[in-house]
A = this chain, B = another copy of it.
Amino acid sequence: MLTLIGLGLCDGLDITMRGKQAVEKAQHVYIEAYTSLLQCSHQELEQQLDRKIIQLSREDMELHISRVLGQAKAEKVVILVIGDVFGATTHADLFLRAKRAGIAVAVIHNASIINAIGTVGLELYRFGRTVSIPYWSQGFEPTSFLDGIKQNQERGLHTLCLLDIKAEEQRFMSVAEALMHLGKAQERSGVRILEEETVVVGVARIGCQDQQIVAAPVATLRNADFGRPPHCLVIPGRLHATPYRGGDAQGLAQSI
């Protein structure tokens, strides 16, 4: 049996009691940690969950996962995933591969940035599609995320921008870097979505005790230091001035 368990956003204490029980009962416990980033060390995670946990690298997930699935045919195998289980295509693939190999698969959900972003004070139901802002590299300089943001803006919807994580290289895009990338992409494509004075929301380490949420103009946030990763960025759509309601990002962010 394979159980995919979301770890939530911060550290080992964010696992659910149901998840903890599954970890206790498993013969093998793995963690996939290259698509996201925990706020504790591997050693701390092992202490919090009171188990030895084996890390799966990108290579393990892409090339050697059949060995893990083989174990799951006869034994209880857990794979821990940061955030929720279906945040990355990798995990949906894994789910399908296991199902098609005749292995029983269970899923234990947890928070992900997709829902926790509600904490900035913007209504979740006023978010359009989520976009990802990738690092550019030679021959790979996409600007298509601008279209996603623009389409949301045209409908008055907010956009959650996920920022690139290259965990194996220890590169994690910051809010400042993301705004720089947005600027470059705007120049390249001619699609304009942000001006210097547009208020956007920079977010870091959401769900952790030292989370940061700051709503400010682009020009200000381009020079702001949000500290340790992961970061993300929200580009608000239409704001409703309802001070005791959720639609007021700036008011709520400032009050945090």
Residues of A whose CB lies within 8 Å of any CB of B are 6, 8-10, 12-18, 20-21, 48, 83-87, 89, 92-93, 95-97, 99-100, 107, 109-112, 114-116, 118-119, 121, 123-132, 151, 155, 157, 207, 243-246, 251-252, 255-256
Contact = CB atoms under 8 A, between A and B. Distances in A.
Nearest to A14: B16
Nearest to A120: B86
Given A93-B245, A96-B252, A99-B255, A116 B123 contact: no
A244 B86 contact: no
6 contacts: A14-B109, A84-B111, A92-B118, A109-B111, A109-B116, A111-B111
A180 B28 CA distance: 47
6 closest cross-chain pairs (CB), A and B: A86-B118, A92-B246, A109-B111, A13-B18, A112-B115, A114-B115
B111 A114 contact: no
B119 A85 contact: yes
A115 B83 CA distance: 10
Nearest to A10: B18
